[in-house]
């Protein structure tokens, strides 16, 4: 379902929406529903999380762009491009908040996470993380772009990249088979997405695929890893803008590289 909310700042209300789950992707830009929204009061979050006026302004600008978004228009592109920047700003700020006082932050962080589509905020034992979550922006664009952005989000870190199987608190082993479905959807829809979306995702996706292809520790045995590579080869071949053909070659080189570890959980 889609959860609706209002951001209140200085008596001015901004009406927005975000996904409460990922099962619904509207095919058209969101419209104002008839039911009353839940209230999220930004000044209260600012107090709880020590948000600066500059951060408040960045959040409001992001939400205003989304309010005027439709598929591929300038407002949507601005909001999409601003999302990873806003995630970085929030992560740096919230890391300091956590270090100063790690207690009693969960409720405020949950509210902030719900209030900023495109940014996923996570409270973990070692600290607070904020990630670019392109799939959360699906309600503000067309179905094809929404599906493509969701697939991209499954490849990018959240907090671990989509190709990494977590086997311990801070890491895990590489498993290319985990990217089978996301890469298939990307290969079908990437070329049809708005230029601003492709441009913003190109380098992050390429870097993540290159990291996978150069991993030194793999979950499966060498033969199983090569079979998993074969399983994503067709999708990678259809993604030349993301360096797909080069990734295939690098994966096969990694399989024969001295020092590569196979059939391991890569823990510790």
* Domain with 150 in it: 144-255
Per-residue pLDDT band for 239 (boundaries 50, 70, 90) equals: very high
Integer angstrom CA distances of residue 27 from 88, 140, 187: 29, 9, 20
Q: Are residues 39 and 87 in the same domain?
A: yes
Structural domain includes residue 64: yes
Average confidence (pLDDT) over 28-46: 46
Q: Are both 51 and 110 inside the same structural domain? A: yes
Q: Domain for residue 260, yes or no?
A: no
Q: Do the domain assignments include residue 71? A: yes
The overall average pLDDT reported for the chain is 84
Average pLDDT over residues 141-170: 93
Core vs surface per residue 53-71: b (16+ CB within 10 A) or e: eebbebbeebbbbbbebeb
- pTM attached to this predicted model: 0.81
Q: Are residues 56 and 176 in the same domain?
A: no
Q: pLDDT at position 126, please?
A: 78
Least reliable range by pLDDT among 69-83, 134-148, 213-227: 69-83
H or E stretch at 204: helix 195-213
* Whether 123 and 167 share a structural domain: no
What band does 22 get if pLDDT is binned at 50, 70 and 90? very low
- Residue 116: pLDDT above 60? yes
Residues 13 and 117 in one domain: yes
pLDDT tens digits for range 86-115: 999 999 999 999 999 888 899 999 999 999
Domain boundary, last residue among 125, 141, 157: 141
* Mean pLDDT in residue range 21-34: 34
Q: Are residues 131 and 31 in the same domain?
A: yes
2-17 pLDDT tens trace: 333 334 443 333 334 4
**Is there a single domain that holds both residue 12 and residue 46?**
yes
Residue 266 in any domain: the answer is: no
Lowest-pLDDT range, 2-16, 43-57, 196-210, 215-229?
2-16
Confidence of residue 124 (pLDDT cuts 50, 70, 90): confident
Q: Which helix (H) or strand (E) holds 42?
A: helix 42-49
Domain identity same for 114 and 156: no
87 lies in the same domain as 216:
no
The predicted structure's pLDDT at residue 41: 54
CA separation for the pair 244, 255 (Å, rounded): 17
CA distance 253 to 268: 25
Provide mean pLDDT across the span 147-175.
Answer: 93
**Do 176 and 77 share a structural domain?**
no
Q: What is the mean pLDDT of residues 225-245?
A: 96
Higher-scoring residue by pLDDT: 18, 135: 135
């Amino acid at each position: 379902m889609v959860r609706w909310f209002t951001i209140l700042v200085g008596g001015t209300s901004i009406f927005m929406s975000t996904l409460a789950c990922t099962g619904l992707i509207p095919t058209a830009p969101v419209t104002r529903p008839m039911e009353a929204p839940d209230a999220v009061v930004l000044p209260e979050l600012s107090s709880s999380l020590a948000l600066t006026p500059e951060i408040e302004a960045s959040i409001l600008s992001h939400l205003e762009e989304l309010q005027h978004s439709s598929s591929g228009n300038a407002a949507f592109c601005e909001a999409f491009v601003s999302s990873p920047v806003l995630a970085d700003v929030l992560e740096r700020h919230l890391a300091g908040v956590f270090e100063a006082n790690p207690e009693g932050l969960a409720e405020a962080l949950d509210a902030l996470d719900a209030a900023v589509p495109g940014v996923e905020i996570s409270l973990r034992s070692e600290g607070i993380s904020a990630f670019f979550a392109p799939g959360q922006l699906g309600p503000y664009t067309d179905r094809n772009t929404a599906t493509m952005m969701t697939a991209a989000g499954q490849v990018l870190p959240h907090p671990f990249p989509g190709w990494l199987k977590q086997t311990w608190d801070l890491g895990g082993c590489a498993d290319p088979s985990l990217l089978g479905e996301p890469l298939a959807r990307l290969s079908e829809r990437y070329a049809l997405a708005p230029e601003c979306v492709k441009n913003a995702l190109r380098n992050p996706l390429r870097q993540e695929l290159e990291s996978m292809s150069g991993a030194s520790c793999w979950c499966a045995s060498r033969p199983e890893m090569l079979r998993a590579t074969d399983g994503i080869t067709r999708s990678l071949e259809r993604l030349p803008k993301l360096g797909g053909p080069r990734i295939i070659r690098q994966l096969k080189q990694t399989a024969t590289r001295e020092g590569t570890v196979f059939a391991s959980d890569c823990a510790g």
